[in-house]
Structure 1
Amino acid sequence: MSSNMSTSSSSAKPDRIINGIAPIRICDLGGWTDTWFAGHGTIFNIGVYPYVEVQVAVFLHHMREHQITLHAENYGERYVVLPGSIDHVRHPLLEAAINEVPLPDNVALEITIFSDVPAGASTGTSAAVTVALIGALDALTPGRMTPHEIAYAAHRVETQRLGLQSGIQDQLCSAYGGINFIEMFHYPYATVSQMRIPDTIWWELERRLALIFLGRTHSSSAVHEQVIAALEREGDASPRLEALRRCAICARDALYAGDFVALGRAMIDNTETQRALHPALVNADADAVIALAREHGVLGWKVNGAGGEGGSLTLLCGPDASANRALLRDIRRLSPLFQPIPIYLSRMGLRVWTTDGER
């Protein structure tokens, strides 16, 4: 690299900046039924902030030595990504997502990605990252993908480009935001109904929900493969899958009725149905928090995502705000690893906008 190129690269101002943000997902009832082996499914989930943030600084190509530089801010890593490369080594999901979107030849990009949510929290953060990144890169070219199309592009990144197991609900939740009832009529095709509830119920739900990170990165691939193998043998008529589908329907109906007791019961039923898929899907740390939650009269709890080691829990607390704050203090005392994460419900899903790079 010449000194002139080094100077121009370091001092150049971006022509424009594209911002993309997307919410994470909690309280997913009916999870496991949004998969290829389930065939069809029903899922209830909630999009919440803190959101994932993507910022794309756009330069004229001749002003930069490399076309794409990726800054994974949470990891303190900044490195060059080669367009079109199939060797996804350092951050495969991010690199594969970049390759999902055709990029103009006349621009160079500095892509920064950040999230306040701990890695491995089982809150669909990877899906939110992919949705926000694809949404931001899509703004580089004429025409726009719909949120639904972006969700499916993000799903393809995981399943086709990386060959990973992935349901469809996380990407759809990040793209749409809000409270969703998803009906997958034939994998992977689904409709998304965003639940419209009175503000008073929205505000009360937001006040009562708590997200508890269990302090360890979610990692249970071996257990998940065992569950998948068993459910594949049972087929889409599996009674266990059908029980999960019913939990999502019960959650939808309870929330429309403003019945928090019934919503909590649906959350508990879903967690116990997850446990029936494999005992390890509800880990010892989750059980410790659940036991404490019972003592405090919490209405419901849901092991987020597919379950397994690490991850997080969604709690649905009772009406007494002071008692709920006492619960969170006791959870912190239970283990220094346990971390309540402040959340609020997302009114919107993916948002993308562009600003002038000079101002």
Structure 2
Amino acid sequence: MIVRSRAPLRLGLAGGGTDVAPYCDLYGGHVMNATIDRYAYATLCPSKDGLCRFSALDGGAYEEWHSEEAIPTEGPLQLLKGVYNRVVREYMGGKVVPLDVKTFSDAPPGSGLGSSSTLVVALLQAFVEYFNLPLGEYEVARLAYEIERKDLGLAGGQQDQYAATFGGFNFMEFYANERVVVNPLRIKDWVWAELEASLVLYFTGVSRASADIIDQQSRNVGESKQSSIDAMHSLKREAVQMKECVLRGDLRGLETTLQAGWEAKKRTATSISNPLIEHVESIAFANGARAAKVSGAGGGGFMMFLCDPENRLRLSRALIDQGGSILDFHFTAQGATAWRIS
């Protein structure tokens, strides 16, 4: 038997960073995001020789371990081994099962599309299908969060795991004690289509380590730096405003909200923007963009721009001239899914 799975990557539209402790513990966080038809994939199949094999097909990393060995989580395959160890420990009673585990993603780490967390969700969904684990959407997302943030000690928030698991347009609420509420939004068809036609997604060609930015944001809140806290409050308000604009089909209001959220985001940590991002942003506004934002923590990765659809081609050409690339995409309503091959 072979089990395959996929989970969608996401665009962080508003409120990103308010899902990270200590801010969400102290004040509560609000995030608006949407998933797109770019995915992280996983495959599980039995190993017949007693070895556990882990392969990241897109990165070329490979490791194998005897099934009776404790599998360390260090190295480039820590996400794969972290998921495997947690499932074995929590649901197999510690009994190691020899498996071949393979993954790949449509986006590189540091892209700002939540690729690492999405990969963990795809892996977990494959394990749920393979072992018939009794886990629903909230349980999968929560477990993915715990594996990344607690088991592996990787800095970050909570929105990516829930976005990848649930899929679609979601308004998310984050509270103390890691309580999360996901509110799926019913977007009118014409709004969905107009957003796809208006949104240009540009890869700067520079991946970044989000952990450093997130650490700085968390320190600023923990040290009660009022300017950073006020900026986080603004991000939270913009997420609420964006939800209302999307539901009403107020596209001009959405442009204003996206830009205001980006300006607030830049005030939460000094490394979120840089000369490259600012240069690309200026080129975009000179070629029809009405609003701009970096997806994810900032510092690089993907940038998104809203424009009139008539200006989409001109804007895309101007951005490509800066040395990056345009990612064509569609929004998707489906979250993580898995299937069996006999």
2:49 partner amino acid: R
Residue matched to 2:84: 98
Amino-acid identity (%): 26
Question: Contact between 1:178 and 1:346, CA under 8 Å: does it hold in 2?
Answer: yes
Question: Contact between 2:61 and 2:76, CA under 8 Å: does it hold in 1?
Answer: no
C-alpha distance after superposition, 1:59-106 (max 9, x if no partner): 5xxx2241x211110112332146642442232122112212127558
| CA distance, structure 1, for counterparts of residue 307 and residue 134 of structure 2 | 40
Change in CA separation of 1:113 and 1:264 when aligned onto 2, cut-off 3 Å: same
Q: How many residues align?
A: 332
Change in CA separation of 1:106 and 1:283 when aligned onto 2, cut-off 3 Å: closer
| TM-score, length of structure 2 as denominator length | 0.91
Residues 1:240 and 2:234 aligned together: no
Question: Contact between 1:27 and 1:314, CA under 8 Å: does it hold in 2?
Answer: no
What displacement does 1:307 show? 1.2
Residue matched to 1:122: 112
| CA distance, structure 2, for counterparts of residue 82 and residue 272 of structure 1 | 51
Residue matched to 1:77: 61
| CA distance, structure 1, for counterparts of residue 129 and residue 60 of structure 2 | 26
| CA distance, structure 2, for counterparts of residue 223 and residue 50 of structure 1 | 24
| CA distance, structure 2, for counterparts of residue 32 and residue 206 of structure 1 | 24
Residue matched to 1:23: 8
Unaligned runs of 5+ in 1: 1-15
Question: Contact between 1:56 and 1:111, CA under 8 Å: does it hold in 2?
Answer: yes
What displacement does 1:148 show? 1.2
Question: Contact between 1:21 and 1:54, CA under 8 Å: does it hold in 2?
Answer: yes
Residue matched to 2:40: 52
| CA distance, structure 2, for counterparts of residue 72 and residue 92 of structure 1 | 10
Question: Contact between 1:261 and 1:299, CA under 8 Å: does it hold in 2?
Answer: no
Residues 1:296 and 2:284 aligned together: no
**Equivalent of 2:123 in 109, 133, 138:** 133
What displacement does 1:23 show? 0.6
Question: Contact between 1:275 and 1:282, CA under 8 Å: does it hold in 2?
Answer: yes
Change in CA separation of 1:181 and 1:131 when aligned onto 2, cut-off 3 Å: same
What displacement does 1:235 show? 8.3
Change in CA separation of 1:306 and 1:326 when aligned onto 2, cut-off 3 Å: same
Residue matched to 2:249: 258
Residues 1:326 and 2:314 aligned together: yes
C-alpha distance after superposition, 1:247-291 (max 9, x if no partner): 101110110111111111111111111111233211222212211
Unaligned runs of 5+ in 2: none
Structure-to-structure mapping, 1:6-45, within 5 angstroms: 16-38=1-23, 39=25, 40-45=28-33
Bigger-Rg structure (1/2): 1
2:328 partner amino acid: P
Change in CA separation of 1:41 and 1:313 when aligned onto 2, cut-off 3 Å: same
Structure-to-structure mapping, 1:103-182, within 5 angstroms: 108-182=98-172
What displacement does 1:57 show? 1.9
| CA distance, structure 2, for counterparts of residue 210 and residue 27 of structure 1 | 14
**What is the root-mean-square deviation in Å for CA atoms of aligned residues?**
2.1
| CA distance, structure 2, for counterparts of residue 224 and residue 36 of structure 1 | 10
Change in CA separation of 1:143 and 1:213 when aligned onto 2, cut-off 3 Å: same
Secondary structure of the residue aligned to 1:140 is helix
Secondary structure of the residue aligned to 2:156 is coil
Residues 1:351 and 2:317 aligned together: no
Secondary structure of the residue aligned to 2:223 is helix
What displacement does 1:218 show? 0.9
What displacement does 1:154 show? 0.8
2:77 partner amino acid: H
Change in CA separation of 1:222 and 1:191 when aligned onto 2, cut-off 3 Å: closer
2:124 partner amino acid: I
| CA distance, structure 2, for counterparts of residue 139 and residue 94 of structure 1 | 16
Residue matched to 1:11: none
Change in CA separation of 1:18 and 1:220 when aligned onto 2, cut-off 3 Å: closer
| CA distance, structure 2, for counterparts of residue 239 and residue 248 of structure 1 | 14
| TM-score, length of structure 1 as denominator length | 0.87
Structure-to-structure mapping, 1:173-192, within 5 angstroms: 173-192=163-182
1:203 partner amino acid: A
1:339 partner amino acid: S
| CA distance, structure 1, for counterparts of residue 225 and residue 171 of structure 2 | 23
What displacement does 1:113 show? 0.6
What displacement does 1:223 show? 4.5
Residue matched to 1:282: 273
| CA distance, structure 2, for counterparts of residue 17 and residue 289 of structure 1 | 44
Structure-to-structure mapping, 1:309-320, within 5 angstroms: 310-320=300-310
Question: Contact between 2:14 and 2:238, CA under 8 Å: does it hold in 1?
Answer: yes
| CA distance, structure 2, for counterparts of residue 223 and residue 57 of structure 1 | 37
Deviates more, 1:298-307 or 1:216-225: 216-225
Secondary structure of the residue aligned to 1:234 is coil
Question: Contact between 2:238 and 2:261, CA under 8 Å: does it hold in 1?
Answer: yes
1:29 partner amino acid: A
Residue matched to 2:298: 307
| CA distance, structure 2, for counterparts of residue 41 and residue 306 of structure 1 | 15
